Each structure stands twice: as C-alpha cells, then as structure tokens.
Amino acid sequence: MNQSTRAILVINAGSSSIKAAVFGDGRELARAEAEVSTDHSAALSQVMAALEGLGHGLRTVSAVGHRVVHGGADLSKSARITPELRAQVAACIPLAPLHNPHHLTAIDWITRAAPDLPQCASFDTAFHATIPEVATRFALPEGPSTQGLRRYGFHGISFAALVDALPRQTGQPLPHRLLAFHLGNGASICAIRAGRSVATTMGYSPNAGLTMGTRSGDIDPAAVLELARRIGIDAAARLLTHDSGLKGLSGLSADMRTLTTSTTPGAKFAVQHFCYWAARHAGSMIAAMGGVDAIAFTGGIGENAGGIRAEILDNLGWAEDVPVLIVPAQEEAFIAREAARLIEGPSDAK
C-alpha cells in the first residue's frame, strides 16, 4: 500500500497545546503544534493549516489516531471512534476534567472537517487494565459516594510503546519483570510482568505517586483535607496540581534542566526529593512483581538526565544487579500503529 493511503495523523490535544504528527512510509513525515490561547478548536485549525502547508493535510491521511487520557474501567484497548465510544469518553470527563473535554473537541473537529475519515483512540489508562483489583481498589466501602474512586494509572501509552519497542531495540525477548520509569514533567513507574501492567504509581488521578514537575505526588489525605479547609477546594486543587512538586520544593522552576544546573539549596533539595521518592516507589513496584529482571527509563528526564538516572539507581543499590535500558519515547508512533492496525492491519510507523 502506498504512502498516502497508509499515512496516519496523530493528534494529542492537551490542556494548553495541540500537537499533531503524520506518520507513514516507516517514519514521521510532518509535525505541527500550537499553544491554546483562545480555544482548542482555533488551535487545531492552526495546526491543521500548518500540516496542509507541509503537504500533509487531511486528504493525504487514511485515519486519525487520538491520545485520550482517560478511558475509565471499560475502555481497555485502542478502538475505532463511534458515537457510542465518544459517549463513553464523555462519561469519563469527571475523571479527567482537564483532558477528556479537549480530546472530544479534537474528535469533533475532525468529524466536521472529514466525516468519512476513520478515527481511533488510544487510552492512557488502557495498559493498566490488567492490574489486579487488590492493587486498584482503595480501602473504602462500596456505595454511591465512592463509585468510581479507584486507582486507574496513566502514561499507559508510553508504557505500551516501551513494551512494543524494547525487544526490537535489544534483539532480545522482553524481560519478564520490567521496572519501567516514565520521567518527565509528569512522572510514574510501572511494574510490568510478562508484558502486562501489574502495578503503577499514578492512581485515581495523574497527581498520585512520584514527585513531579508541578504535581505533589503522594500526600496524606488528611493533609489534603486540611489544605482544602485553609484555602478552599479549588485553590487546594490548583496548588497540588500546578504549584507543587519540583516547582514548589525549589521555589525556582519545574524544569529539571534548570534545577540540576542551579546551586540554590531549594533546587538541590527538589532534585534529591525527586530521586528519593522515585527509588522508594520503585521498591513498591519491585515487590508487586516479586523481583526485577531489568530497568527501563523513558520520557524527557528518563532519556536525557543521566545524573538523575544515576542517583535513582544508586538509591536502588540494594536491588539486584540488572540491565538498565534507555528507551526513546514513542507514544505518537505507537498511536499511529494502533490506528493503522484497527483500520487496515499492521502499520509501518516506527
């Protein structure tokens, strides 16, 4: 099949930006992105105009693949977008109010612009559908007030792409017990046994687990309640999501590159906190797998910050001596392959 019929457009509609890339002929063909200044539809129009100018408009692609953050408990694998699936994504808005509405805006924009163009969705929660209930359920009673309150896990597209790519990268079978770090502005760890997620550090929201760029990571629920009493629920939510983590600890920046070159005590402590909690949570993930056969790093920090990797591994010095691998993030190419698989069989996107 020729390039034009196999090309796949991948859209990542985030809270503050729209990113899009076209894949085909075994490679990335074009990329465009725009910051959201007024609304997501306007930003997507800008992105699509840029791709059109590069010769990769909607008429040149055979399908569109979307990153969708939350698929809830039911959407456990990539799927063609139908009215029914769109309704399921919309039903998950309360679980991801900062993400799913923007994904729907992109889906609807494409539907209006090219009604006959197949669209597919890949879910950040889907890879974690294999986690056992004992690891996903909070110790809360069942009832209407607790419905939907459970651990879901995120960064699933990144971890699924890593599982897909690692054997090709190494020429060896996937390690049976793989400790996978996705480290970036958002950060999480996944315990992957026999290619399946059995535990992960993010939970009901992407705020749980590790120290992150601006997210607090794990915090005592009583401390969250006290914070809400002091400054109100909305202000507490903003503080925990946008003003905590590396940014809050350092008083300087959420960017690890800035912090690792700074000599301020706050910056040094923030880096130490990030590495300490990454290693501490890694211990929990190793326990969930019953050991570890290899460690893999991906994401912007995971791939590029050798000093951070070294400190985390030093903190894990008690663990077994296992191979350490660096796997370039391939989320968008994975989404393209999934979309191609759903509409026409295996894709050549790498």
Active site residues: 124
- Give the helix/strand (H/E) hosting 276: helix 265-289
As a whole number of angstroms, the distance between CA 206 and CA 187 comes to: 9
Burial environment of residue 338 by CB neighbours within 10 A (0 to 12, 13 to 18, 19 or more): buried
Under a CB-based contact definition with an 8 Å cutoff, are residues 85 and 123 in contact?
no
- E strands, 40-195, in order: 63-68, 79-80, 119-123, 177-183, 187-193
Would you say how long the chain is, in residues? 350
Burial environment of residue 265 by CB neighbours within 10 A (0 to 12, 13 to 18, 19 or more): exposed
Question: What single letter denotes the amino acid at residue 327?
Answer: V
Q: What is residue 117's three-state secondary structure?
A: coil
Strand bridging mode 196-200 / 119-123: unpaired
What's 331's DSSP letter? Answer: H
Q: What is residue 340's three-state secondary structure?
A: helix
Measured CA angle at 105 (ends 99, 108), to 5 deg = 140
Long-range contacts of 341-346 (CB under 8 A, 24+ apart): 341/78, 342/63, 342/78, 342/79, 342/80, 342/118, 342/120, 343/62, 343/63, 343/80, 343/118, 343/120, 344/1, 344/6, 344/62, 344/63
Q: Spell 233-257 as b/e; 16+ CB within 10 A means b.
A: eeebbebbbeebbbbbbbeebbbbe
As a whole number of angstroms, the distance between CA 295 and CA 52 comes to: 41
Question: What single letter denotes the amino acid at residue 188?
Answer: S
